[in-house]
Amino acid sequence: MNKQKKTAYRIYFTSQGKGYEIYARKVCQGDMYGFVEIEDIIFGEKSAIVVDPNEEALKKEFAGVKRLLIPYHSVSRIDEVEKEGQARIVSLAVSNIEGDIVQPLPPHNPAK
């Protein structure tokens, strides 16, 4: 039997001051203008003995989510990969030369 290789994508995006690296089976232009649509999010093996608390937090955050719609400007990179890895949340804080922590500004939400 010849098993077909399943396509996997690694997606880097930012949301609410956090950076995300997730893996999914389907990525396309969303029906809503200006959004990337992500479906079938992939997490590590359920039978794994070692539990990654970072990935567990992502599983909780995306529990019950069938489809993500992410604004184009929040997506920094999408890679088609041969093998999926571990999903994770990455730090957005950057250290400058003096050692101070530099945080990105939050998105602008005008008052209603």
| Cut 0.85: pTM above it | no
Lowest mean pLDDT among 6-10, 61-65, 96-100: 96-100
Q: What residues contact residue 88 under an 8 Å CB cut-off, 6+ apart?
A: 20, 21, 52, 54, 55, 58
Domain encompassing residue 97: 8-102
Cα separation, 28 vs 37, whole angstroms? 5
pLDDT, position 1: 46
For the stretch 20-57, pLDDT in tens is: 999 999 999 988 899 999 999 888 765 556 666 777 88
Closest CA to 89 of 49, 48, 61: 61
Q: Is residue 35 included in any domain, yes or no?
A: yes
| String of DSSP letters for 29-50 | E-SSTTEEEEEEEE---TT-SS
Q: Is residue 2 included in any domain, yes or no?
A: no
Cα separation, 94 vs 35, whole angstroms? 27
Number of separate domains in the chain: 1
